[in-house]
Chains A and B, each alone.
Chain A
Amino acid sequence: MPARPRPPAPALILTALVAATSLAGCAREPDPGTVTVLNSATDTHEHEQQQKFFDRCAKPLGVRVRQTSVPAAQVASKALRMASSHSLTDILELDGSELPQFADTGGLVPLRTAGVDVTGMSEGAVSMGSFRGTPYGIARSVNSLALIYNADLLREAGVEPPTTWDELRAAAKKLTRGKTFGMAFSATPDADGVYQFLPFFWSAGGDEARLDDGRGAPALQLWKDLVADRSASSAVVTWNQQDVNDQFIAGRAAMMINGPWQVPVLSTHKDLKWEVAAVPVPEAGRPPVPPIGGTVMTLPRTGDTARQRTAAKILNCLNEQRNQVDWGESVYNVPTRTAAAAAYKTQNPKLGAFADQVATARSRTGRVGARWPVVSDALAGAFQSVLTGRATPEAALKQAQSRATAGQ
């Protein structure tokens, strides 16, 4: 083979290209007139709503807000990637259950240091945004779970909305006719299922830090009984909250556990008469203990205090009473400012049950902090093995506790 004197141009170009692409991940210098946000508002409507409120608060400060939205399940890993390349946004909106893992890294600025005010917010909301007693994230609105029921079906069966577990079991049995189940809930092995299990687990006295203390077992027994009675389908182990709502809308479930984010969908079905009640409790007189959910806005340590101050001002503005009420109404979540929640309740009486639930709602990460994802997986394993008949409630919780502490 004769040697050619020309340098192999294509090879050089390719080499250069490879080198260039591997450098493309480096951080860019941020635009001083733009505050950046990473959130999960991938839904067009939600994205636009967010932008509206951001604009409302950013305009007086002479800045613009640019959102980067990724699916909720990817926010944490995207944020971590950005953190490792020092390109985190000025505002990071995390799910409440993810906050401790981020706060624990020291990568977030305590709200008080940054000048964000959380006074006047409900205790549950502050606790959701806190790690080891220090608030790191502020929730504009929160959601919880309630019992949503088909008023027509209950009236036809002569059943009152149940308030206790015994009433729930009896009502669900009575409402189960033909293709309609009395009750539906989500028991998927993920965040959906765990969120739905918590009001039962906590109301029974269960403790996520000591799963095997036996006090949460009656909650597992209740779920098992509902399925064993055929008052709820055994397919609940595969139904996420969306599926549960679909079953309810299709008239295949007379009652369901679900959250206010289903309201927009429910409202489009005009012939469906739905009402909201509190999640039934083990015994009359005990307060329900539903979980508090939603997102919190945090301020990552970007090292630029001027930008941080602007971001903090935006957070304060977003959480003014009027903005909270407006935001809460646009996403059907309950404002976290106590006064705003009261205003919201009078303006939306139908969602009053959700507003009331939030008052006693509890943060998922309050007790176990950054260990929540492990505990959550363990709890999911527990109710799934009980519902599929693989374990008794006590054995399942014992197993869950050893799973939750295995890595320690």
Chain B
Amino acid sequence: MTTTVTTAAAPAPAGHPAPDTAARRRRRATLLRWCFVAPAALYLLAFFGYPLVRNILMSFQHYTPHTFFTGESPFNGLDNWRAVFRNPLFVDSLGHTLVFTVGSLLGQFVLGLALAVFFSRRFPLSGVVRAVLLLPWLVPMVVSAVVWRKLLDQESGVINTLLMDLHLTSSAVPWLSSPDLALLAAILVNIWIGIPFNMVILYGGLQEIPRELREAAALDGAGAWRTFRSVTLPLLRPVVTVVLILGFMSTVKILDLILALTGGGPADSTQTLGTVTYQLSFQQLDFGQGAVVGNVLVLVSAVFAVLYLRANRSDFGQGK
């Protein structure tokens, strides 16, 4: 990797008297390399770079329906940022997003890992059950959310009927209609949705750990828990990092699940950065303020994206 970079960066000596075939060849190689990089670079610039820069600019502009008709979007300095940071809804949504993300990740990861470990042993019907467990992943998010909204309904939801028939609760639990419970309910649904992803990736990671290592640990007298802690987990670490960081980035920006499940309610108790962006941009049509929240989301994700890249790079460094 490092050697190619140095050759590519070394320029041919300028103003060389006679055409040096070696230098020309090198220049051609460089050009060719750039030709291969160009499509990807152009693609990234067009579809990721441009919108990103646009979004950052937009957060400093008065960007309203007028803009779409007149093309005018005057810069208004920090007005949008000030308005958003003063908006109590934004402050609340930061807290909700944090709780939602941490709660979802914890639940998804612990359950996903438990299932992955469980299925890494061979037993009859293991494949079938594993396939069934993948289903939540295949169902579109909005469909899951709508189904869960029905299941969790306070009056006619199956969950409450079940809980009451089993005498676990004496009255219907207001899953989605109490501000104290709605965020928890949303987290539980998101955990259900996220388990397959965690399970599949972690299962793959477990398959890569040589069986002999665990057998050796067992021969050394380690119990199941000790083997798991001292052999499996450390070897699984790179996969765990990937799962958690990818999970973080998809959870922190969640929108469709919450919109379909609670619409941000009741009493704004499930408003997250995603729903606030949606509300500002597409309901109040204040695209400037919406962009501010969007940028905050991008910033948060970017921090974790950098962590992800670093984690990956250290894996390459170890010769993986």
Q: What distance in Å separates the Cβ of B94 from its nearest Cβ neighbour in chain A?
A: 17
The reply on A384 being an interface residue by CB < 8 A is yes
| Known contacts A3-B28, A377-B283, A384 near B265 by CB under 8 Å | yes
Among B69, B87, B266, B285, the residue within 8 A (CB) of A387 is B266
Among A11, A83, A234, A384, the residue within 8 A (CB) of B69 is A83
Q: What distance in Å separates the Cβ of A391 from its nearest Cβ neighbour in chain B?
A: 8
Give the one of A77, A237, A238, A252 with max B CB within 10 A: A238
Q: Report how far A161 CA is from B185 CA in the complex, Å.
A: 38
Q: What distance in Å separates the Cβ of B206 from its nearest Cβ neighbour in chain A?
A: 38
Q: Report how far A341 CA is from B122 CA in the complex, Å.
A: 72
Smallest Cβ-Cβ distance to B289: which chain A residue: A407
B285→A373 contact, CB < 8 A: yes
B46→A189 contact, CB < 8 A: no
B263→A235 contact, CB < 8 A: no
Of A98-106, A211-219, A357-365, the one touching chain B: A98-106
Among B35, B64, B174, the residue within 8 A (CB) of A234 is B174
**Number of residues of chain A lying within 8 A (CB) of chain B:** 55
The reply on B262 being an interface residue by CB < 8 A is yes
The reply on B320 being an interface residue by CB < 8 A is no
- In the complex, what residues of A have CB within 8 A of residue B256's CB? none
The reply on A113 being an interface residue by CB < 8 A is no
The reply on B168 being an interface residue by CB < 8 A is no
The reply on B154 being an interface residue by CB < 8 A is yes
The reply on B38 being an interface residue by CB < 8 A is yes
| Known contacts A8-B35, A8-B36, A238-B154, A106 near B69 by CB under 8 Å | yes
B266→A189 contact, CB < 8 A: yes
The reply on B282 being an interface residue by CB < 8 A is yes
Interface residues of B in 30-55 (CB under 8 A from A): 32, 35-36, 38-39, 42-43, 46
A15→B69 contact, CB < 8 A: no
Q: What distance in Å separates the Cβ of B177 from its nearest Cβ neighbour in chain A?
A: 5
The reply on B312 being an interface residue by CB < 8 A is no
A18→B42 contact, CB < 8 A: yes
Give the one of A18, A84, A104 with max B CB within 10 A: A18
The reply on B226 being an interface residue by CB < 8 A is no
Among A7, A77, A84, A181, the residue within 8 A (CB) of B282 is A77
Among B28, B69, B266, the residue within 8 A (CB) of A237 is B266
Q: Report how far A250 CA is from B155 CA in the complex, Å.
A: 12
B154→A102 contact, CB < 8 A: no
| Known contacts A18-B39, A83-B69, A105-B70, A385 near B285 by CB under 8 Å | no
- In the complex, what residues of B have CB within 8 A of residue A238's CB? 149, 153-154, 176-177, 262, 265-266
A235→B70 contact, CB < 8 A: no
- In the complex, what residues of B have CB within 8 A of residue A4's CB? 32
The reply on B301 being an interface residue by CB < 8 A is no
B156→A80 contact, CB < 8 A: no
Q: What distance in Å separates the Cβ of B7 from its nearest Cβ neighbour in chain A?
A: 9
B267→A83 contact, CB < 8 A: no
| Known contacts A15-B38, A238-B177, A390 near B265 by CB under 8 Å | no
Among A5, A8, A105, A390, the residue within 8 A (CB) of B267 is A390
- In the complex, what residues of A have CB within 8 A of residue B230's CB? none
- In the complex, what residues of A have CB within 8 A of residue B295's CB? none
B177→A102 contact, CB < 8 A: no
Give A residues with C-beta under 8 Å from B.
1-5, 7-8, 11-12, 14-15, 18, 22, 73, 76-77, 80-81, 83-84, 101-102, 104-107, 179, 181, 188-190, 233-238, 243, 247, 250, 252, 301, 373-374, 377, 380-381, 384-385, 387-388, 390, 403, 406-407
